[in-house]
Amino acid sequence: MTARLSSERAAVDQTVDALLALRTWCRKQQGEGGEGGEGAQVWCDREDLLTERLVAHSVAAQQVGQAVSLLQEQAERRPTAQRSGWLTKLGRVYLQYGQLGAAEDVFSKAEAYSSGGDAEDIAHELNGGLVMVAKGEYAQALACFDDIMELDPDNLLAANNKAICLLYTCNLDAAIAFLEGVIRSDVQRNLHNGLVFNLAMMYDLAAHRAKEKKRTLQQLAQRYGSDDFDNAVLKLG
């Protein structure tokens, strides 16, 4: 509760301190729960959730070094079979801040630690698509995201990046129609800040009835949006 209230007040240091204190408590409980016991696993899961929250907060606050350190530490703390997921998260943070070489290196390590399975295979293919986008290889990336969505139609990260690739391959109308279709397919689930931001931006690029269309998105957000939906992504001015 302390961490959440501090975050809402934009008190960065208080939020980080509170989350770190909670994570330290979780680690202490793991030791008291006994090595490998069910109780210890519950506290491990809680530690992971807190770490993800810390990383998200750090990225939002532009504290890239802190986000990287948190993810590196968590990857090292977890068993080999769990490292791939944490390294994928780390690589995507690197990509978000333009560190392409570091991202590719980490993604390679993530694949090396992979234990297989559909979810991990999709994650690695998605990593490859994101690298293609960073390199400006939009046509190749588009094919990659199409493949991913055949396997996982509800993958919003792939959907958002597919739309970006359509835009950068001079298919603005197709990009708009695609994102509109994604949102309509499950408004409550897919009214995601990132998707709405890109769709609003594309409406502006298309110009025709842009404000009217963004007002329609606003009405959908008012009816179906989650508590953390950010109205600023609608770019209504």
Q: How many CA atoms lie within 13 A of 187 on its CB side?
A: 11
Per-residue tokens: 154: 């509800």
What's the whole-model pTM score? 0.86
Residue 64 CB partners (closer than 8 Å, separation 6+): 58, 93, 97
In 3D, which of 118, 122, 113 has the Cα closest to residue 87? Answer: 113
- The owner of tokens 């769990």 is 82
Percent of the chain with pLDDT over 70: 91
| CA–CA dist 69, 237 (Å, integer) | 37
Q: Is the pLDDT of residue 9 over 70?
A: no
Structure tokens of 89?
């998260």
What are the residues whose beta carbons fall under 8 Å from the beta carbon of 194, sequence distance 6 or more?
A: 156, 160, 233
What is the greatest pairwise CA distance in the chain? Answer: 63
> Do residues 58 and 67 touch, judged by C-beta distance below 8 A?
yes
CB 57 within 8 A of CB 15: yes
Q: What is the pLDDT of residues 124-173, one digit of tens each?
A: 999 999 999 999 999 999 999 999 999 999 999 999 999 999 999 999 99
Nearest-10 Cα torsion for 33, 36, 40, 43: 160
pLDDT tens digits along 197-214: 999 999 999 988 999 999
Determine the Cα–Cα distance for residues 65 and 143; give it in Å rounded to an integer: 33
| 94-110 residue pLDDT tens | 999 999 999 999 999 99
Burial class (CB in 10 A: 0-12, 13-18, 19+), 141: buried
